[in-house]
Amino acid sequence: MKYHGGDLKILSGANLSVEAGEKIGLVGRNGAGKTTLLNVLSGVSELDEGSVELVGGARIGMTAQSLYVGSERSVEEEMLSAFEGLIRREKELKSLEDDLSGNHSPSLLERYGRMQAEFDRDGGYSYRARAASALSSLGFDPEDWKRPVSSFSGGEQSRIALARLLLSEPDLVLLDEPTNHLDLRGIEWLENFVKNAKSAVLVVSHDRYFLDAVAGSIVELDDGRLTRYPGNYTKYVSEKKARDEQLARRAKANHERREQLERFIEKNRAKATKAKQAKSKQKLLDRMERVEGPGNGKKSMKVDLTGETSRAGRVVLEMEDVYYGYEDGERLLNDVELVVERGERVALLGPNGTGKSTIMRLATGELEARGGIVRLGNNVVPAYQDQQLDRLDPNKTVLEEAMGATGFDAPETRELLGAFLFSGDDVFKKVSALSGGEKNRLSLAEIVVSGANLLILDEPTNNLDIPAREALEDALASYRGTLFFISHDRYFLRKLATRIVELEKGRLNNYLGGYDYYRAHRRLDVKESGGGRRAPRRRVRPGLDKRQSIVATRLVAVEGEIDATERRISRLEKELATSELYSDGKRSREVVTEHRQLKSTLEGLYEDWSGLIEEAEEVDL
């Protein structure tokens, strides 16, 4: 396959085959052409060269870009339209039943029995339940099912279109970032649906956990070519690393051999006795393939959050008896209680639409609580990245926006923006013209230099490709401040969260551990409630009194701060072990000084931790 987008070659010599029922993850950097490939396969875009062959009249399904503008069809009608064949056969069966009421001929009975068996085999008696299950799992309440699809938000329409596509079971399903508008419950439903689907599935996703769960193979799109790796995403990473290491060795050997030949030619081309050999070597050099190493010329986002920040007080953020509601009196949040301590990495989870972003906006002061107290602690310097990135001024250029936010001059700002992949004329683009991923990178660039000791992040990995997500994760893992964030990226959650708070029915439930701990205890909560509609969940570690809860929370916070400090010390010690460091006198002094200061800080943290362990024993924690 070959495809050009303007002057850009997007696909070149790309080959792909998909077997019946196969589940393939398609990965690659933003801008590599993944969506273009899906459009080519679905027939939306035409190839410059090559062809797409559908064996045996296979059907391909992909959600449309325009979705449901102006449609008066209800959500329920849209879901049921996926089963048009079954609905038609259901009507035929009903017509036969009417005929049988006055005619009991053997042939008519035989025909009815055969049609009924086929209808049952194909799921005819369960299609309505399947549609209802899909809608419920994607967060649509029964009272919303009669509403026109056009009345829902863009994200909600995307979920409706996704469910309808999957229920229709084409031979090949093409999915482009299907987890983007889903909460954790919806993502888990989608995982199970894709794994069990009869259809083959080709899915573009930056959700590594999702790819691990559903993909039987990974196809990487890079420089216009497709490379297949067997197994899920984790296996792909391992295999790609091995292939890259092998390619790096080949490239090194190739480079050294070319240099040898070039030296020989340069040294001997003018010598009468060696000129013939030099000419022969030149021909050999001309014929020799140039082997490039892996990732040549590819830039990655560089996020550095290791800079000094002021030390906040022990309590960084506190909410006490907070409620928030709409003008009509309906409450979104009820008696919210939350304490975030210095060094904690607290993840806020919950279904879409329950008020998670509202809690973030209350924490920043952007919204004012209708009741209760919201306060930041002593010496807290917050930085906030909202999911919609509304803080960015759409009328400014990238350079103007970053200069205004950071106070840097133009050269300093351009250097900062370069680390976030804004180079050349990119900095003169209007913010309004940026993609979602570009806006996210711009917002992160401003946060990096803010000096904040509390980062409040609402879906910070949205629209970032996998290399950018990994760069952000590594930076946040080394960050010595406090994190309070919303995310549905389970890789991100597992790597960073030291505590989970889940918003349910307007209140927060506290889980004193990371994502895996939360998952295990959430399953226990479901079992205890009888597996049906869940009863109000008790807090983790039932029976803790107020003092026990305070001690437990402080322990988690101190352990998080110890963990972050030890990771930073480890990174500094690796730098101290390199000879290159000492060629830069200023940098080596900075590293030695910071290492000594962190060692002292760590000793103090361990003293705090020892005291808390004693308190924990006193309160029988």
Chain-centre distance of CA 141, in angstroms? 26
Query: Contact, 191 vs 210, CB < 8 A?
Result: yes
- Res 2: pLDDT: 56
- Res 536: pLDDT: 32
Of 78, 369, 28, residue with least CA distance to 211? 28
- Res 517: pLDDT: 85
Assess whether pLDDT exceeds 60 at residue 538.
no
Q: Which amino acid is at 455?
A: L
Of 475, 304, 302, 308, residue with least CA distance to 381? 308
Average model confidence (pLDDT) across the chain: 85
Assess whether pLDDT exceeds 80 at residue 523.
no
Cα–Cα dist 182/605, whole Å: 39
Average pLDDT of the residues in 499-526 = 82
Cα–Cα dist 75/81, whole Å: 10
Q: Which two tokens stand for residue 240?
A: 């790609």
Tens digit of pLDDT for each residue in 71-129? 788 999 999 999 999 999 999 888 888 887 777 778 888 888 888 888 888 888 888 88
In the chain, what percentage of residues exceed pLDDT 90? 35
In the chain, what percentage of residues exceed pLDDT 70? 92
- Res 422: pLDDT: 92
Q: Which amino acid is at 371?
A: G
Three-state SS annotation for 561-610: HHHHHHHHHHHHHHHHCCHHHHHCHHHHHHHHHHHHHHHHHHHHHHHHHH
Burial of 605 (0-12, 13-18, 19+ CB in 10 A): buried
- Across 278-292, 293-307, 576-590, the highest mean pLDDT is recorded for 278-292
Cα–Cα dist 407/413, whole Å: 9
Assign 499 a pLDDT band (cuts: 50, 70, 90). very high
Tens digit of pLDDT for each residue in 332-373? 898 899 999 999 999 999 988 889 999 999 999 999 999 999
Query: Contact, 511 vs 521, CB < 8 A?
Result: yes
Of 361, 387, 354, 353, residue with least CA distance to 152? 353
Which pTM does this prediction carry?
0.76
Chain-centre distance of CA 599, in angstroms? 34
Q: Which amino acid is at 553?
A: T
Quickly list DSSP for 427-480.
Answer: GGSBGGGS-HHHHHHHHHHHHHTS--SEEEEESTTTT--HHHHHHHHHHHHH--
Evaluated on CA atoms 458, 459, 465, 466, the torsion sign reads positive
- Res 503: pLDDT: 93
- Res 327: pLDDT: 62
- Res 220: pLDDT: 94
- Res 13: pLDDT: 67
Q: Could you identify the residue written with the tokens 């026109």?
A: 148
Assign 537 a pLDDT band (cuts: 50, 70, 90). very low
Q: Of the given ranges (32-36, 279-283, 313-317, 549-553), which has the lowest mean pLDDT? A: 549-553
CA atoms within a 13 Å half-sphere pointing along the CA-CB vector of 165: 23
Buried b (16+ CB within 10 A) or exposed e, 565-597: bebbbebbeeeeeeeebeeeeeeeeebeebbee
Pairing of strands 499-504, 345-349: parallel
Assess whether pLDDT exceeds 90 at residue 601.
no
Cα–Cα dist 425/397, whole Å: 10
Q: Which two tokens stand for residue 270?
A: 């003018």
Q: Is 151 left (phi over 0), alpha (psi -120 to 50) or beta?
A: alpha
Of 480, 486, 419, residue with least CA distance to 446? 419
Evaluated on CA atoms 83, 85, 88, 89, the torsion sign reads negative
Q: Which amino acid is at 506?
A: G
Pairing of strands 454-458, 331-341: unpaired
Assess whether pLDDT exceeds 50 at residue 594.
yes
Segment holding 423, helix H or strand E: none
- In Å, how far are 356, 507, 541 from 436, measured between CA atoms? 20, 31, 40
- Res 199: pLDDT: 92
Q: Which two tokens stand for residue 326?
A: 């709409």
Assess whether pLDDT exceeds 50 at residue 417.
yes
